[in-house]
Chains A and B, each alone.
Chain A
Amino acid sequence: MRSILTRRLAVLGLAAAALAGPASAQGYPERPITMIVPFAPGGPTDVIARLVAETMSRSLGQQVVIENVAGAGGTTGITRASQATPDGYTIMMGHMGTHGAAPALFKGLKYDPAKSFDPIGLAAGTPIVIVAKNNFDAPDLKTFLEAVKSGGAKINQAHAGVGSVSHSTGILFNSIVGAKPTLVVYRGTGPALNDMMAGQVDFMTDQIVNVAPQITGGTIKAYAIATPERSPALPNVPTTKEAGLPGYEVSAWNAVFAPKGLPKDVAAKLDAALAKALEDDNTKKRILELGGTVPTQAERGPAALQKLVESEVARWTPVLRAAVDGSQ
């Protein structure tokens, strides 16, 4: 309780400081900061952005306002944000799709994930879970993989639209396993889960945030989680390594970016505010409760994020290109 009080006082102090010192470059931030979230409100990226933005607002002494600009797998919002003035007043929450898979999926993309941005830092990861309808006749991942492989096009795999996390991670899954299921497309994860509960589709791969309630509620089943360690949100679900598919490790990461050309001191302030947000007990607790992961010290920061983006683009491009070209 006392710590909250002191923090509030600190915020007041910061706010007062911000009011006292106008117009100097050191004064950043002097007005609210816009964080563009390239997806509709309510989804996993939006929730993480709001959690982080709330704590960042407190340490920056200015409100970080979320603006949802959804469309085209998140690339509409990121394109807009990439063209904003790099003054630190427009930042964005990018993710695996917009800064990893997009170049392979969207021809004529107006930004380059590795070159058009100043990375601020990784915010949170949401691990991918392999889920299936309850009456899928396979007790564990190994038999499931056999069934999916031998079933061929008779197996129905759901995904939430081209460019969605379930789409890219599903294609990666198929290419690693060597499966060729029929793809059934949904507008979002919700309707896909509904049809899975009703037994209309067989399986999908999606972010833990989206599927954990149904797994714990027993309406669908999970075969494995694609992270090196089990998630506290789903302690009974084995990792892909444990269950026998070590090559499939994937997590939908969310990270804060700014348009290229940010002043150094502004970048440092944003970096520090994000780091502080990720140290905040409440924010951390909420992210973990969602099934998300908080990046370790080594994974944080601009340099690590830049590396991640480059490796992700390199990882997704060949897999997705092959799948997209194959289907046309």
Chain B
Amino acid sequence: MTDLLANLGLGFSIALSLQNLALCFLGCLVGTLIGVLPGVGPIATIAMLLPITFGLDPVGALIMLAGIYYGAQYGGSTTAILVNIPGEATSVITTLDGHQMARQGRAGIALGTAAIASFFAGTVATLLIAALGAPLTKLALVFGPAEYFALMVMGLVFAVVLARGSILKAVAMILVGILFASVGTDLETGQERMTFGLAFLADGVDFSVLAMGLFGIAEILRNLDHTETRDVVRQQIGRLLPGRADIKQATPSVLRGTVIGSTLGILPGNGAVLGPFASYAIEKRIAKDPSRFGNGAIEGVAGPESANNAGAQTSFIPLLTLGIPPNAVMALMVGAMTIHGIVPGPGVMTKNPNLFWGMIASMWLGNLMLLIINLPLVGLWVRLLKVPYRLMFPAILMFCSIGIYSINSVPTDVMFIAFFGIVGYALIKLGFEPAPLLLGFVLGRLMEEYLRRALTLSRGDPIVFLERPVAAGLLLLTAVVLAAALLPSLRKSRDEVFTEA
């Protein structure tokens, strides 16, 4: 404990230097801005800003780059709520209730809740990294391919819970998502699957392309279809910040979301992506009146938002302690560290204590700054909704196109968002939900990979999923949830739960 305090003291003494404070602020600000611009993601931004950091000392540079990363997570929720475009896989869920809240004139409350929930989760996650970072890496090593596969299966069962409409349609969407995920070059054999000989499909469909098309472009088409719904958003803005009743309602969700998000974030196999989904599923399941979900339930924003920020924070644990990047942004952070002459890995904590603890302290300061940056901005963002839609949608379209192009510099990606936009529009018209499709897409690819790897290691023997206690436990839990969903006696009430009035 005294060690922890001494270490945190060291961290704050470094993070509170004038230069590092300024860099942290700059990172958070840039992160928020790119998060808010639909499509421009943290990967492109960090890659672009990397050369600028050459002249800085490594600690300051990494504090700034980390700030961009979690700032973007923060900002991404803003677009999810205001214009229904998830910037990252982790903010897909926020669109479900967040955007509904905005439509009901409660955009300010949704944004405020997201900001406060994220700040709380960030604080807890920072403390968690500081106190338990090293021992927690053991958890990462318990998770082999079999465990990850079981985790992904559980995730897909959650996807069923996400659905607003009929279960059958949700399952269909999940399967389509998995199908999309299997497009591209097969990892093991190098053979192309379902690419129709088209070169740009060789690496599969990009998540951002799919998400932006299905959510962003489809949303624009839908709005142009009947403009009166936009007017509802514009008419009334309402309160800007959550009131006492809102906070009371959201608090338990924030607590649960933080625990779920932090735990999944520690897993190096990109477990953080499941956090918001899991949190939402649990909130909906334990709610007294689940029908509110999907129609602007504040818990549906508070839980996933805290899970997403906690996960963003704790995903630094595998990076800093194992040297293993759990996702593409973290891989870029590894590159940034190596360029600055720091070798990420088990040695960072002992060899570069200044960097390790300085970064941890800066994460908390960064979260505080984000709260300070974002709360006053809520008014501004909400006012953005007053901008006439005929001016707004070309801007959104432009930013989406620029953002998508900046990811891989491939023109076909831009055409692809148009294609998926039309697909998304058709799906909405037919009453299919895009969220389960996206979850199926994200999890499908991982699931296939882990399944094949687990079976390669067991030489084709499926008993491996039952022999390993963690994997067996997760699968058992999944089976219970699934059985509960399919039992005829429960079915009637379930249909009431899942069918939107």
B323 within 8 A of A: yes
Determine whether the beta carbon of B457 is less than 8 Å from that of A200. yes
User: For residues 297 through 323 of chain A, which have their beta carbon under 8 Å from a beta carbon of chain B?
Assistant: none
A51 within 8 A of B: yes
Q: How large is the interface on A (under 10, 10 to 19, 20 to 34, 35 or more residues)?
A: 35 or more
A36 to chain B: closest residue by CB:
B409
A76 to B413, CA, bound (A): 14
Determine whether the beta carbon of A162 is less than 8 Å from that of B190. yes
A197: chain B residues within 8 A (beta carbon):
141, 322
A124 to B336, CA, bound (A): 18
Q: With A50-B339, A76-B202 in contact, do A190 and B449 touch (Cβ < 8 Å)?
A: no
B128 within 8 A of A: no
Determine whether the beta carbon of A216 is less than 8 Å from that of B347. yes
Determine whether the beta carbon of A194 is less than 8 Å from that of B268. yes
B333: chain A residues within 8 A (beta carbon):
42
A315 to B140, CA, bound (A): 39
Determine whether the beta carbon of B140 is less than 8 Å from that of A194. yes
B145: chain A residues within 8 A (beta carbon):
195, 200
B138 to chain A: closest residue by CB:
A198
State which of A66, A162, A200, A209 has its C-beta within 8 Å of the C-beta of B47.
A66
Determine whether the beta carbon of A289 is less than 8 Å from that of B408. no
B50 within 8 A of A: yes
B203 within 8 A of A: yes
A190 to B335, CA, bound (A): 13
**Chain A: minimal CB distance from B1 (Å):** 26
Interface size on B, residues (CB 8 A): 52
Determine whether the beta carbon of B50 is less than 8 Å from that of A50. yes
B361 within 8 A of A: no
Determine whether the beta carbon of A214 is less than 8 Å from that of B345. yes
Interface centre among B336, B338, B344, B347 (most CB of A within 10 A): B338
Determine whether the beta carbon of A43 is less than 8 Å from that of B453. no
A154 to chain B: closest residue by CB:
B459
A53: chain B residues within 8 A (beta carbon):
51
Determine whether the beta carbon of A218 is less than 8 Å from that of B346. yes
A256 to B361, CA, bound (A): 40
Determine whether the beta carbon of A67 is less than 8 Å from that of B409. yes
B46: chain A residues within 8 A (beta carbon):
41
A105 to B145, CA, bound (A): 27
B339: chain A residues within 8 A (beta carbon):
47, 50-51, 286
Determine whether the beta carbon of B335 is less than 8 Å from that of A198. no
Determine whether the beta carbon of A43 is less than 8 Å from that of B203. no
Determine whether the beta carbon of A161 is less than 8 Å from that of B187. yes
A53 to B54, CA, bound (A): 12
A69 within 8 A of B: yes
Tell me whether chain A's interface is mostly helix, strand or loop, or mixed: mixed
Determine whether the beta carbon of A213 is less than 8 Å from that of B323. yes
A209 to B331, CA, bound (A): 13
Q: With A163-B190, A184-B457, A198-B144 in contact, do A70 and B408 touch (Cβ < 8 Å)?
A: yes
Determine whether the beta carbon of B142 is less than 8 Å from that of A198. yes
A267 within 8 A of B: no
Interface centre among A41, A188, A200 (most CB of B within 10 A): A41
Determine whether the beta carbon of A42 is less than 8 Å from that of B203. no
Determine whether the beta carbon of B322 is less than 8 Å from that of A194. yes
A156 within 8 A of B: yes
State which of B335, B341, B410 has its C-beta within 8 Å of the C-beta of A41.
B335
User: For residues 324 through 381 of chain B, which have their beta carbon under 8 Å from a beta carbon of chain A?
Assistant: 324-326, 328, 331-336, 338-339, 341, 343-347
Q: With A185-B187, A213-B346 in contact, do A289 and B453 touch (Cβ < 8 Å)?
A: no
Determine whether the beta carbon of A40 is less than 8 Å from that of B410. no
**Chain A: minimal CB distance from B322 (Å):** 7
B112 within 8 A of A: no
B43 within 8 A of A: yes
**Chain A: minimal CB distance from B169 (Å):** 31
Chain A 30-71 per-residue mask, 1 if CB under 8 angstroms from chain B, else 0: 000000000011110011001101100000000000111111
User: For residues 74 through 107 of chain A, which have their beta carbon under 8 Å from a beta carbon of chain B?
Assistant: 76, 105
B318: chain A residues within 8 A (beta carbon):
194
Q: With A156-B457, A161-B187, A197-B322 in contact, do A71 and B202 touch (Cβ < 8 Å)?
A: yes
Determine whether the beta carbon of B268 is less than 8 Å from that of A213. no
A71: chain B residues within 8 A (beta carbon):
202-203, 408
Interface centre among B50, B142, B453 (most CB of A within 10 A): B453
B213 within 8 A of A: no
A290 within 8 A of B: yes
Chain B 211-244 per-residue mask, 1 if CB under 8 angstroms from chain A, else 0: 0000000000000000000000000000000000
A15 within 8 A of B: no
Q: With A71-B202, A71-B203 in contact, do A201 and B347 touch (Cβ < 8 Å)?
A: no
Determine whether the beta carbon of A42 is less than 8 Å from that of B324. no
**Chain A: minimal CB distance from B444 (Å):** 14
Determine whether the beta carbon of A185 is less than 8 Å from that of B453. yes
A216 to B322, CA, bound (A): 12
B51: chain A residues within 8 A (beta carbon):
50, 53-54, 66
User: For residues 251 through 290 of chain A, which have their beta carbon under 8 Å from a beta carbon of chain B?
Assistant: 285-286, 289-290
User: For residues 141 through 191 of chain A, which have their beta carbon under 8 Å from a beta carbon of chain B?
Assistant: 153, 156, 161-163, 182-188, 190-191
Q: With A42-B331, A47-B335, A72-B185 in contact, do A217 and B325 touch (Cβ < 8 Å)?
A: no
Chain A 189-211 per-residue mask, 1 if CB under 8 angstroms from chain B, else 0: 01101110110110000000100
**Chain A: minimal CB distance from B358 (Å):** 19
B336: chain A residues within 8 A (beta carbon):
42
State which of B143, B199, B324, B343 has its C-beta within 8 Å of the C-beta of A190.
B324
A71 to B206, CA, bound (A): 12
B188 within 8 A of A: yes
State which of A40, A156, A286 has its C-beta within 8 Å of the C-beta of B328.
A40
A116: chain B residues within 8 A (beta carbon):
none
A182 to B455, CA, bound (A): 12
A327 within 8 A of B: yes
Determine whether the beta carbon of B323 is less than 8 Å from that of A214. yes
B456 within 8 A of A: yes
A218 to chain B: closest residue by CB:
B346
Determine whether the beta carbon of A72 is less than 8 Å from that of B203. yes
Determine whether the beta carbon of B335 is less than 8 Å from that of A54. no
B343 to chain A: closest residue by CB:
A213
A71 to chain B: closest residue by CB:
B203
A128 within 8 A of B: no
Determine whether the beta carbon of B347 is less than 8 Å from that of A198. no
User: For residues 288 through 339 of chain B, which have their beta carbon under 8 Å from a beta carbon of chain A?
Assistant: 318, 322-326, 328, 331-336, 338-339
Determine whether the beta carbon of B324 is less than 8 Å from that of A193. yes
B445 to chain A: closest residue by CB:
A187
> What are 18 A-B interface contacts by the 8 Å CB criterion?
A42-B328, A42-B332, A43-B335, A68-B47, A68-B409, A69-B408, A72-B203, A105-B190, A182-B456, A183-B456, A191-B324, A198-B143, A201-B457, A209-B338, A212-B343, A217-B347, A286-B341, A289-B343
Residues of B within 8 A of A (CB): 43, 46-47, 50-51, 54, 140-145, 185, 187-190, 199, 202-203, 268-269, 318, 322-326, 328, 331-336, 338-339, 341, 343-347, 408-410, 449, 452-453, 456-457, 459
Which 3 A-B residue pairings sit nearest by Cβ, starting from the closest?
Answer: A213-B345, A217-B346, A42-B335
20 additional contacts (CB under 8 A) given A66-B51, A191-B268, A195-B144: A41-B43, A42-B332, A43-B331, A47-B335, A53-B51, A54-B51, A70-B408, A72-B203, A185-B456, A190-B331, A193-B322, A193-B323, A193-B324, A198-B142, A200-B145, A200-B457, A216-B343, A217-B323, A285-B341, A327-B189
